[in-house]
Amino acid sequence: MIYCVIPEVLADELYEKLTAYYAGDPNVTVIVDRRQGSRRERGASAGGNRQRRDRRRSRVTGEMPPLKAD
């Protein structure tokens, strides 16, 4: 899937033209970006419960059984 993203300020001018242009391609979707600001700004309230964690797997507890000698 390919998204053709149009900034909101250009939507009136480009949305209809691009929708008609890509009408024959089912892999392309034309959308209007309506975001008002960056979500990654300092002090943003979205999310809130985010924690940093070590992504490595923890070790299995216990001992390995001895291997049989041939």
Q: Give the model confidence (pLDDT) of 17-55 as tens digits.
A: 999 999 999 999 999 999 887 766 666 566 667 777 777
Look at residue 23 and give its three-state secondary structure. Answer: coil
For residue 46, tell me if it sits in a domain. Answer: no
Count structural domains, the chain. 1
Specify the pLDDT at position 28. Answer: 96
CA dihedral 29, 34, 39, 43 (to 10 degrees): -170
pLDDT band at 5 (very low <50, low <70, confident <90, very high): very high
For residue 8, tell me if it sits in a domain. Answer: yes
Q: Is the pTM of this model over 0.85?
A: no
User: Contact, 32 vs 6, CB < 8 A?
Assistant: yes
For residue 27, tell me if it sits in a domain. Answer: yes
